Amino acid sequence: MEIRLKELDEKFKYDIAARPGAENFTYCFFCGTCTATCPVAEVNKEYDPRRIIRMAILGMREAVLSSDIIWMCVRCYTCFARCPQNVKFADIMEVLRRMAVEEGYVPEDRLNLIDQLDQKVQELRCHLVRYLLRPTEELAGEIRAIINGLLEKDG
Amino acid sequence: MAKKSGSVLVVGGGIAGIQAALDLANAGFKVYLVEEKSAIGGTMAQLDKTFPTNDCAMCIMSPKLVECGRHLNIELLTDTELVAVEGEPGDFKVRLHRRPRFVDLAKCTGCGECAKVCPVSIPSEFDEAICDRKAAYRLFAQAFPSAFAIDKRERPPCQISCPAGVHAQGYIALIREGRYLEAYQLIRKNNPFPAICGRVCHHPCEENCRRGEYDDPIAIAALKRFVADYAYHHRDELDRDPPPQKKGVKVAVIGAGPAGLTCANDLAQLGYRVTIFEAEAKPGGMMRMGIPPYRLPREMLDWEIETILKTGVELKTGHPIRDFRAIEALKEEGFKAIFIGVGAVRAKPLKIEGIDLKGVRLGLDFLKEVNQKGEASVGKKVVIIGGGNVAIDVARSALRLGAEEVHLFCLESRSEMPAHEWEITAAVEEGVHLHPAWGPIRILGKSGQVCGVEFKRCISVFDEEGRFRPKFDEKERTEIDGDMVIIAIGQEADLSFLTGSEIKLTPWGTIDVDPVTMATNIEGIFAGGDVVKGPASVVDAVGQGHEAAISIDRYLRGEDLKKGREKKEDLPKKPFPRFVVEKRREVMPHLPPSERIKGFMEVELGYDEKRALAEAGRCLECGGCSECLECIKACEAEAIIHEMVGSDHQIRVGAIIIATGASKFDPSLRYEFGYHRFSNVITSIQFERILAASGPYQGHIQRPGDGKVPKRIAFIQCVGSRDDEHDYCSSVCCMYAIKEAVIAREHDQRIEPTIFFMDIRAFGKGFDKYYERAQEEYGIRFIRARVGKVEEIPESGNLLVYYLDETGVVKEEFDLVVLSVGLVPSPPDLVEKLEIKTDANFIATRPFDPIQTHRDGIYVCGTVAAPKDIPDTVTEASAAAAAVQELLAEARWSETKVKEYPPERDVRGEVPRIGVFVCHCGINIGSVVDVGAVVEYVRTLPNVIYAEDNLFTCSQDTQERIKDAIREHRLNRIVVASCTPRTHEPLFQETLREAGLNPHLFEMANIRDQCSWIHPDNPELATAKAKILVEMAVAKARLLEPLHTVTIPIIPRALIIGGGLAGMISALTIANQGYGVFLIEREDRLGGNLNHLYYTIEGWEIPSYRDELIKKVESHPRIKVYKGVTIDEIDGYVGNYRTRLKNGIELEHGVVILATGAKEEKPDGYLYAEENRVITQRELEAMIWKKEVDRIKRVVMIQCVGSRDDERPYCSRVCCQEAIKNAIRLKEINPKVAIYIFYRDIRTYGLLERYYRKARKLGIIFIRYERNRRPVVERDGDDLRVEGYDPILKERIIINPDLVVLAPPIIPDPESARLSQLLKVPLNEDGFFLEAHLKLRPVDFATDGVFMCGLAHSPKDIKETIAQAKAAAARAVIILSQKGLRASATTAKVDRERCAGCGVCVSVCSFGAPELIESEGRRFSQVNEALCKGCGNCAVACPSGAIDHLGFRSEQTLAMLNIARRT
């Protein structure tokens, strides 16, 4: 494959940077800090924040917005904290997801689903932390219930 | 306006400040060099080696330190900071504050004995806290001034809060070192009762101890007791003070309590005859009467009192002073002063019903009886009224005397009880029943015998103003039965003996004294202790006893009692010098309560040595120096002054140069890298110290965590640089990291360094070659990645480094991680004081003037203005000096000193009369070499007329002795056997000149560095060796001859070749100072490369600047411009050149500046010249200026076209900023234009990084390419097609631009090569001029009188060119401003008879000193003394032995070798 700039959307980067939270998007100098500290990248070799930014900056609008990759971010904000250029990658993921919905690459309720998932995961996390600190049977039951609920929904 | 000052203030003693100071002082200005630290040297002194030459930083810097420090016209003000500046250029008034060094600079010889005995360790700032230094310290071994300094932070709170001023931190420090007897003596200096106070003191020191802010305060009293007990058991070993001299003046002390005894002790030490009058049978006062033996064993009390009496104090016990007449009588007996310290020994009575019943006693009387007789009768059930310490002592004593039940009632609530908490606790443990908050109503009796007490509830004791005004709840009452009641509600002074006297009393029934002097209202009578304070503690009494003794001494000597005795101002509280790990205080062992009440055995058992050491180890040393005063004992030069105070100075100067440097980024702020959390993560500057032979590990590479040799070392770049907060590049880190990796490999081949970087910024002269060599020759691994995080593997202390490379995320294990920390601006206070502007918190400068701040007359150089390396710093320093020279030219030589010497004695024809001075160097030499034996031996040598030994031969008084000896014994040769001529030869030569001897009649033997230091374990052989070394020096001395220098006249004009920016700036800088300039330009117009440039990256417009500059140059009355002509021939040497131009004109001048410039090479390939849409950056700049770019939609820029390749292996330095400058312009003209920049490394060093960032913000896309995978430019039909490779997506990338812009290299002008031949000055392999030294002499050639600047030296931008041009001018003016040049005396000399004219000498000389002359039909060599540096190369190379080196003649050297051979 090769990248033909002629066939890409050179304005894509400005569209992204125009959105709140993504103002610093083009500051990226591709040092790789985000990917090197990303917990998702650690388990999923396909997931590479630096690569996503590069594709976006070069104008690969369709490839980025139609990709499943942009939905992988768990928004742990480690990249956000470590980025030397304050690119705010976690926020940029949010922008890309909205653009993907707006431009019809994914169904509209994908965002809602992700939000709900985030909420459930957050709840699960809180329960797990409580359980780790002070395990009770009651808590264990609640945790099982959340997991089962998640599986049912996804299933 | 006032006449301009000829003085200059240079702030900051790093390499920038040093260079600026030297350039100014050598050019006729008086310089004040102000440095905040105790020595000059700055950051450069901390570095190990320097890139790209791998020279030792200290070796190249040290001569500058010495020159700067010894310069007649540089006044070095260390420990000094700037306070305020007023005035205007030419006439500034500057206020300075000098902090106390606590060491007299004039007396300190730098021997280091103070540091050896100093018990306080503080993390060494010079070694970046890898190891400790002492509180008495020298910043580094080669520091100038070489004097030590004492590091005091705050006055330790323990010491301040002690009423007696005991140096608690000091004795704790001594305990930690096991120096218990010294600790004891230190306590005794301020408190004659260490054993007593170690037990009974209420220790306000502990309440104020800063360790208490963390966990528990240090158990200071317990440590004091440990030391005192140790001293008691080793009392035979204590130094006996010699009996004090009797002054014969008599002083009377009334009362042998702690105040009286202290006062007597102090006065006896001062030599007074003291008599103490004590009413009781035994001395000690309340210490004996009031404190039971279970708290204070009597043998301790007796021992400490005896120690005082042994100093000759007379004690009259059983001698009460009953009335004032008795005091008058004392005066008549000849007592010249009287101290009253009778204490507060009368128990306060309680006016209450039943007080007269049998079985009711007063507490103090009870205690007195117990303590004097060892017994007293007690009831079965004892009721005590009172809540103070006496009450508690009564209660505990009653228990011990057999009372079955002891009940203690007091008005106060439990928490308000005045007794010490620890006493109350002990009493309760022993079984005393407490009943707080009860007030007695009456004592109940039955048939005259006490049977109980009735109490009412006490609600509060004190009113709102804190006065004693108890309130009761009359309804709540209680009754207790008991067969004995003891009232212990306080005691007061019995002042009945003063009845009828005039002595003023207070309303509280104490003697009214002056709180500072302890003087009563009657002259000659002083008082202290409880009689003044009311019932207080032992240590309060001791404190007042001291003060009274000081007053009495002053009174008797007729001095002012008060002067200088005000409370000392406290030094500011500083953060703790080290990280505090929680550690609770050591527990004091006690007798179990059941054992205690069996008798009066001591309850507290004291620390053993192990506990004492552990407890002493908890001290945070918050005062820095502990004032243990051991250094005073150790300093033979008597240079230490602990009482030194700071001083304010005002100076008048004409100009100010700021050279305070930058700070280093604190990497603990980047949490993910683990600094401070993981012991094997260090900073680059720490690694620098680890590499240094003078560093903490003597140059052995090891990890600080466990001392293991690290194999895999990771360098992480840009820590604190190029990030959101620090949007600049620190400029130096890439190169220092590469250098550190290279040096590490040189130390140990097994080390495998890896450098994690984003762009390698090897933009300086010779840097890229160094980078290449690091990869190819040293095998250093470079990984282009910014490390995400570092984790520690706890088992091994190794580190996991996370990074992203082309294979994905990698976790790699390393043994050591080095963080390349960036430079950060210094704190803003200086900027605020100077009222100057900043840029990114660095000091801002003006357009086209990189050393001029926004306030006239204040200049800046070095890293305080922006990050930069050493050569750029040194260049700017000289440039700043040039600006000052220009400003103050009219005041040159107006405030400088010239040293006058007596006429030189003619010693020719005299038999050698040698004087030898052998130095002990404190104990540096004296403790190994038998100096006396050396002197004896030397005296037996022929021609030695005089020999002596000195504690410090370098001290000022010894210089006088040497001069006296020269006169007295008519000496005509001097030998000093001591340290090294490197630092001390000039001093002794100076002494010879002052005594009228030629300075070359001097020889030095190094018996320290080359003898005592290296043979400390073999004194006998060392002594023998010292004898030989001195004998060798004597042998040479016999043959020494006076040497004289010639003075060369100077033609005060400069020739500048090249009329570009550099040449024009140099010309103006020199001409504005009143010297003539010939400016030669090959072309028909001035301006050089400026004629092809239009704007700078900052946005400054070049054409108008250029035209202005040309106008100034061409209209300057002292500049003669020759255009359209080149040089034909240059002849002569420094000060005296004769140059012929091609047009036949001849010019005479004293110096030459080469500013021949460089040019843009035409690109090769990429369709350049074949296709008009392929242009260079310079051509693009012209198009933009002419507004010819509006139709351009897509641009590709290609960097490094012809740079950094095999043919031109150097970086052209300016192309990255040019491309970014033009790209930003294009974007600003038309935001829609798409710009792609193919680059290898973006090298926007320093503050330029912000433009790189701005370019990205604007959407300019940067695509990196590898050297072997360059983008390809082709035609694609009518289109241009650029094919490259994107390393991030790992795909080919194809762009169709309508413009391709190439960045060709900068290449030297061919004229440079021709001039290098004409002037015999070198070029480097790339064809640029090669300076005398890459780091420290960036504009000089090895040949004196020839300088360089601008692109002829190496590629650089406009600001850098301006700075360098000014620097070259400054260096040139140093020569032009002299009345004549003194050549060196120790030069090579040719014996024409033996010279064969072979010319070998000419070929080996780097300075062009010898030349071949033809005369009378033969050729021979002749050395130009003005050029000869005395290196000796020619003398060694000469095949016929025709060259002799004055001062090192063959026969002199042979004479030395003959002595050495004999042994």
- Residues A77, A134 within the same domain: no
CB-based contact B797:B705 (threshold 8 Å): yes
Interface of B with A (CB under 8 A): 672, 718, 722-724, 758, 785-789, 802-805, 808-809, 1194, 1234, 1236, 1252-1253, 1256-1259, 1261-1262, 1286, 1288-1289, 1291-1296
Quote the domain boundaries for residue A93: 5-106
Q: Do B788 and A10 touch (CB under 8 A)?
A: no
CB-based contact B854:B837 (threshold 8 Å): yes
- Residues A61, A81 within the same domain: yes
Distance CA(B846)–CA(B1012), nearest Å, equals 56
Give contacts of B1195 with chain A, Cβ < 8 Å.
none
- Residues A65, A115 within the same domain: no
| Partners of B1422 in the β-ladder | B1411
Q: Do A13 and B1259 touch (CB under 8 A)?
A: yes
- Residues A98, A114 within the same domain: no
Distance CA(B130)–CA(B1081), nearest Å, equals 56
Interface of A with B (CB under 8 A): 1-6, 10, 13-14, 17, 26-38, 41-42, 45, 48, 50-51, 54-55, 57-58, 82-86
Query: Can you give the pLDDT at residue B573?
Result: 66
- CATH number of the domain enclosing A89: 1.10.1060.10
DSSP at B103: B
* Closest to B1194 measured CA to CA, from B1282, B1254, B1291, B1290: B1282
Across the interface, of A6, A17, A30, the residue whose CB is closest to B1288 is A30
Number of domains in chain A: 2
Residue A155 has pLDDT above 50, yes or no: no
CB-based contact B1082:B1314 (threshold 8 Å): no
Distance CA(B1057)–CA(B1153), nearest Å, equals 6
- Residues A48, A88 within the same domain: yes
- Residues A60, A27 within the same domain: yes
Give the amino acid at B464: E
Query: pLDDT tens digit string along B616-675?
Result: 999 988 888 999 999 999 998 899 999 898 999 999 999 999 999 999 999 999 999 999
What's the gap in Å between the CA of A94 and the closest CA on chain B?
A: 20
> Which residue of chain B has the CA closest to A82?
B788
Taken as a whole, chain A contains a residue count of 155
- Residues A80, A15 within the same domain: yes
The mean pLDDT of chain B is 93
Across the interface, of A29, A31, A54, the residue whose CB is closest to B1289 is A54
Give contacts of A59 with chain B, Cβ < 8 Å.
none
What's the gap in Å between the CA of A142 and the closest CA on chain B?
A: 35
- Residues A83, A142 within the same domain: no
Distance CA(B1215)–CA(B43), nearest Å, equals 30
Tell me: cis bond preceding B145? Omega within 30 of 0 counts.
yes
- Residues A96, A33 within the same domain: yes
Distance CA(A101)–CA(A98), nearest Å, equals 5
Alpha carbon B1300 to chain centroid distance? Answer: 54
- Residues A94, A119 within the same domain: no
First-residue to last-residue Cα distance in chain A: 36
Residue A40 has pLDDT above 50, yes or no: yes
Distance CA(B577)–CA(B132), nearest Å, equals 11
Q: Do B803 and A36 touch (CB under 8 A)?
A: yes
What's the gap in Å between the CA of A143 and the closest CA on chain B?
A: 32
Distance CA(A11)–CA(A9), nearest Å, equals 5
Place of tokens 């067969």: B483
User: In chain B, what is the greatest distance between 2 CA atoms, to the nearest angstrom?
Assistant: 143
What's the gap in Å between the CA of B757 and the closest CA on chain A?
A: 9
DSSP B273-310: EEEEE-SSSSS-THHHHTS-TTTS-HHHHHHHHHHHHT
Query: Can you give the pLDDT at residue A138?
Result: 92
Query: Can you give the pLDDT at residue B241?
Result: 62
Which stretches of chain B drop beneath a pLDDT of 50?
Answer: none
DSSP at B720: T
CB-based contact B819:B716 (threshold 8 Å): yes
Query: Can you give the pLDDT at residue B818?
Result: 98
Give contacts of A83 with chain B, Cβ < 8 Å.
724
Q: Which two three-digit tokens encode residue B163?
A: 């009423």
* Closest to B1045 measured CA to CA, from B1151, B1253, B904, B1196: B904
Q: Which two three-digit tokens encode residue B916?
A: 């030898």
- Residues A96, A114 within the same domain: no
Give the amino acid at B1341: F
ipTM for the complex shown:
0.94
Query: Can you give the pLDDT at residue B89?
Result: 97
Q: Please name the helix (run of DSSP H) or strand (run of DSSP E) that holds residue B769, with its range, or none.
A: helix B767-776
Helices (H), B619-762: 630-634, 684-691, 733-747
- Residues A80, A97 within the same domain: yes
Distance CA(B1090)–CA(B1098), nearest Å, equals 16
